[in-house]
């Protein structure tokens, strides 16, 4: 893309946000009836716009420079930009449709008067008071939720427990406890204390095995360096196994040479080892108990383009002909429907991540929703097809939007139970 096109895109982006801000300001100004509140709204809106534009600029710098670490203050500015933008979008959805009807009504009245040869001035119909109140109240909900998400929600870890009854599970493994974490995204962290609390929560689950399903970093392997000693503290009776996610290959950063990119990949392999994460790149490991065995199988990332398709199930299964029960780690849940279910080998349980639950949604008893469901049908929690299970973890960290609203960071505990 030429420099001229980039400059034009920047100009159009800024113009887009200015038009939105002017329209929303007009909505707010007209929606406040008392004159003294109009002045307060004008001042608050001015400061909110300034903070949001600082956040947009910091987001742009982050996207361009791809730093190795994050800090709290820039994350708060960026988070406020997302929160305020969501507030404005909801207002626009409510008021734009009504404004179009108002303009159409004005045109109709003008044409009618023209035919009736009336010359009196036609006022623009006002907005309905009910729409004003509903629009403002509804817009406040995602705004408040996202503000909570950037302050408290992003580290509000939740332990989700699942119990599965599995016919292929050897009797010796009845009650075997699998703890899954995914999508650490260490380059986004802005609180060491919060991460230590998350790691402590993992260790409190008394895992038989811990499985990490990819995306250790955002762009650069060096992002994990400050946290190696912390994640090294994760313990289980049978070790920690891991796979790579799409962000771990360095595809989202511009490197000076292909060699530099290759060295970055070599670094992440090294860091997995330093953390005592046994990386399974199209490989497997066997866990034995009382003369019986299960297999942990790991594949490299496989997703729909443009995501990498490096996962090789056949290679990962080598030597497992006589192992009856298999747990597969595959970062992207798309792999499950496209390749894993149709594969000749039966995978009792597949563990994935990748979606983050979009870090935004609604989860209440009996109801779960996030916009990500329209992209990934299997986006969070447990799924079953052809007798095989998939669990999609909502992620330990966060990316892009520096927070979580409604979709909490997750530590999954899956208890395996034998049935005859």
Instruction: Quick: pLDDT tens for 285-311.
Output: 999 999 999 999 999 999 999 999 999
Q: Are residues 391 and 247 in the same domain?
A: yes
Q: Are residues 70 and 210 in the same domain?
A: no
Q: What is the CATH number of the domain that holds 203?
A: 3.60.21.10
Position 344 pLDDT exceeds 70? yes
- Choose one of 93, 122, 151: the last residue of a domain: 151
pLDDT at 117: 66
Q: Which of 409, 407, 406 is closest to 397 using CA atoms?
A: 409
Q: Could you tell me which residue, 180 or 133, shows the higher pLDDT?
A: 180
pLDDT at 135: 83
pLDDT at 98: 77
- Choose one of 120, 151, 182: the last residue of a domain: 151
pLDDT at 88: 94
Which stretch of 42-51, 133-142, 225-234, 259-268 has the lowest confidence by average pLDDT?
Answer: 133-142
At 55-76, the pLDDT tens digits run: 999 999 999 999 999 999 999 9
The C-alpha atoms of residue 355 and residue 20 are separated, in whole angstroms, by 29
Q: Are residues 147 and 158 in the same domain?
A: no
Which residue range forms the structural domain that includes residue 344? 154-418
Quickly state the pLDDT bin for 195 (edges 50, 70, 90). very high
Q: Which of 202, 164, 200 is closest to 181 using CA atoms?
A: 202
At 113-141, the pLDDT tens digits run: 777 766 666 665 666 677 777 888 899 99
pLDDT at 131: 73
CA angle 75, 78, 82 (to 5 degrees): 130
236: three-class secondary structure by DSSP? coil
Q: Are residues 76 and 173 in the same domain?
A: no
pLDDT at 95: 85
The number of domains in the chain is 2
Q: Could you tell me which residue, 211 or 109, shows the higher pLDDT?
A: 211
Six token digits for residue 24 = 């929303």
Question: What percentage of the chain exceeds 90 in pLDDT?
Answer: 79
Q: Could you tell me which residue, 95 or 258, shows the higher pLDDT?
A: 258
Which stretch of 15-24, 53-62, 144-153, 181-190 has the lowest confidence by average pLDDT?
Answer: 15-24
Q: Are residues 113 and 229 in the same domain?
A: no
Q: Are residues 272 and 307 in the same domain?
A: yes
Q: Are residues 129 and 239 in the same domain?
A: no
The C-alpha atoms of residue 89 and residue 103 are separated, in whole angstroms, by 20
- Choose one of 124, 151, 178: the last residue of a domain: 151
At 1-12, the pLDDT tens digits run: 555 666 788 888
- Exposure string for 63-88, b = 16+ CB within 10 A, e = fewer: eeeeebbbeeebbbbbbbbbbbbbbb
Q: Which of 249, 326, 321 is closest to 285 using CA atoms?
A: 326
Q: Are residues 46 and 92 in the same domain?
A: yes
Q: Are residues 135 and 122 in the same domain?
A: yes
Report the mean per-residue pLDDT for the chain: 92
pLDDT at 361: 96
Q: Are residues 133 and 282 in the same domain?
A: no
pLDDT at 100: 82
Element (H, E) at 326: strand 326-329
The C-alpha atoms of residue 160 and residue 58 are separated, in whole angstroms, by 34
pLDDT at 119: 61
**Against a cut of 0.85, is the pTM above it?**
yes
Positive or negative, the CA dihedral 275, 281, 286, 287 is: positive
Q: What is the largest CA-CA distance in the chain?
A: 97
Beta pairing class for 367-369 and 362-364: antiparallel
Q: Are residues 329 and 413 in the same domain?
A: yes
Position 362 pLDDT exceeds 80? yes
Q: What is the mean pLDDT of residues 388-398?
A: 98
Q: What is the mean pLDDT of residues 13-17?
A: 89
Q: What is the mean pLDDT of residues 40-45?
A: 85
pLDDT at 373: 97
Q: Are residues 120 and 193 in the same domain?
A: no
């Amino acid at each position: 893309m030429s420099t001229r096109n980039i400059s034009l895109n920047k100009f159009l982006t800024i113009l887009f946000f200015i038009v939105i801000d002017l329209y929303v300001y007009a909505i707010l100004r007209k929606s406040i009836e008392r004159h003294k509140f109009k002045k307060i709204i004008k001042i608050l809106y001015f400061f909110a716009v300034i903070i949001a534009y600082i956040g947009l600029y910091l987001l742009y710098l982050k996207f361009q420079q791809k730093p190795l670490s994050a800090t709290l203050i820039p994350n708060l500015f960026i988070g406020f930009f997302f929160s305020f933008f969501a507030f404005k979008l909801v207002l626009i959805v409510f008021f734009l449709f009504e404004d179009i009807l108002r303009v159409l009504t004005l045109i109709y009245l003008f044409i009618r008067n023209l035919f009736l040869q009336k010359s009196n001035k036609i006022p623009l119909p006002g907005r309905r008071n009910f729409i004003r109140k509903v629009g403002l109240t509804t817009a406040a909900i995602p705004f408040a939720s996202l503000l909570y998400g950037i302050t408290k929600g992003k580290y509000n870890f939740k332990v989700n427990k699942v119990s599965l009854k599995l016919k292929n599970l050897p009797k010796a493994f009845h009650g075997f406890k699998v703890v899954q974490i995914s999508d650490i995204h260490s380059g986004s962290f802005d609180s060491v204390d919060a991460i230590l609390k998350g790691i402590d929560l993992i260790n409190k689950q008394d895992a038989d095995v811990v499985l990490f399903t990819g995306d250790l970093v955002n762009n650069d392997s060096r992002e994990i360096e400050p946290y190696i000693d912390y994640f090294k503290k994760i313990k289980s009776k049978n070790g920690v196994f891991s796979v790579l996610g799409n962000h771990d290959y360095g595809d989202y950063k511009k490197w000076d040479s292909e060699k530099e990119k290759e060295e970055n990949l070599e670094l992440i392999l090294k860091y997995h080892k330093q953390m005592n994460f046994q990386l399974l790149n199209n490989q497997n490991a066997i866990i034995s108990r009382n003369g019986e065995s299960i297999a942990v199988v790991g594949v490299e990332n496989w997703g729909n383009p443009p995501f990498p398709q490096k996962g090789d199930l056949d290679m990962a299964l080598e030597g497992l002909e006589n192992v009856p029960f298999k747990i597969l780690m595959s970062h992207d849940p798309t792999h499950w429907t496209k390749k894993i279910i149709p594969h000749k080998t039966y995978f009792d349980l597949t563990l994935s991540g990748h979606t983050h639950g979009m870090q935004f949604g609604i989860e209440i008893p009996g109801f779960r929703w996030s916009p990500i469901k329209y992209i990934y049908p299997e986006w969070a929690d447990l799924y079953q097809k052809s007798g095989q299970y998939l669990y999609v973890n909502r992620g330990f960290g966060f990316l892009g939007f520096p927070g979580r609203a409604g979709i909490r960071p997750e530590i999954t505990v899956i208890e395996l139970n034998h049935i005859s």
